[in-house]
């Protein structure tokens, strides 16, 4: 889904999100779930393109920032832009992590760790279920 404006806020009821998303997408993005490692359709994807939010179509990550972290989830060293994602403290499971969310619709995407390659040294560890790859030709 590509939205008309990448800055326009998207808000829907839980019922509407359930209608618009499949069960796994809803569980991950709206209920802050996680897909099992090495099971997501993009964990090993090397195709060029822009990874968009499965909920609202906002551009989140570009394929040229994706790398194989060995974690089993798609990993990126930076978002598509500073406005793409927002970070929030997550204290679930008895630990402190930084949750990565879509800036436009608050979809849960995954977490960011200080364990990536340069130039940012960050690893945005993102669930495939939260993404939709808009393929491009290189």
Looking at residue 6, what is its pLDDT?
A: 60
Looking at residue 138, what is its pLDDT?
A: 62
Q: Which of 53, 55, 105, 125 is catalytic?
A: 125
pTM for this prediction: 0.91
Alpha carbons within 13 A on the beta-carbon side of 15: 0
Q: Is the pLDDT of residue 11 over 90?
A: yes
Distance CA 45, CA 34 (A): 18
Q: What is the pLDDT of residues 80-136, one digit of tens each?
A: 998 999 999 999 889 999 999 999 999 999 999 998 888 999 999 999 999 999 999
Query: Beta strands 49-53 and 85-90: pairing type?
Result: unpaired
Looking at residue 5, what is its pLDDT?
A: 57
Q: What is the pLDDT of residues 49-95, one digit of tens each?
A: 999 999 999 999 999 999 999 999 999 999 999 899 999 999 988 99
Query: Beta strands 85-90 and 131-135: pairing type?
Result: unpaired
Looking at residue 137, what is its pLDDT?
A: 78
Which fold is adopted by the domain 14-135?
Answer: 2.170.150
Distance CA 15, CA 21 (A): 10
Looking at residue 3, what is its pLDDT?
A: 42
Domain chopping of the chain, boundaries: 14-135
45 assigned to active site: no
Q: Is the pLDDT of residue 2 over 50?
A: no
């Amino acid at each position: 889904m590509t939205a008309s404006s990448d800055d326009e806020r998207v808000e829907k009821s839980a019922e509407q999100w359930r209608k618009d998303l499949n069960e796994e997408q809803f569980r991950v993005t709206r209920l802050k779930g996680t897909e099992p490692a090495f099971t997501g359709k993009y964990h090993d994807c090397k195709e060029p393109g822009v990874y968009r939010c499965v909920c609202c179509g906002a551009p989140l990550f570009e394929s040229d920032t994706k790398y194989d972290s060995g974690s089993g989830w798609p990993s990126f060293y930076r978002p598509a832009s500073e406005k793409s994602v927002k970070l929030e403290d997550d204290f679930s499971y008895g630990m402190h992590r930084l949750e990565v969310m879509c800036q436009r619709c608050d979809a849960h995407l995954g977490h960011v760790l200080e364990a990536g390659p340069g130039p940012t040294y960050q690893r945005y560890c993102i669930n495939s279920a939260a993404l939709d790859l808009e393929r491009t030709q290189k």
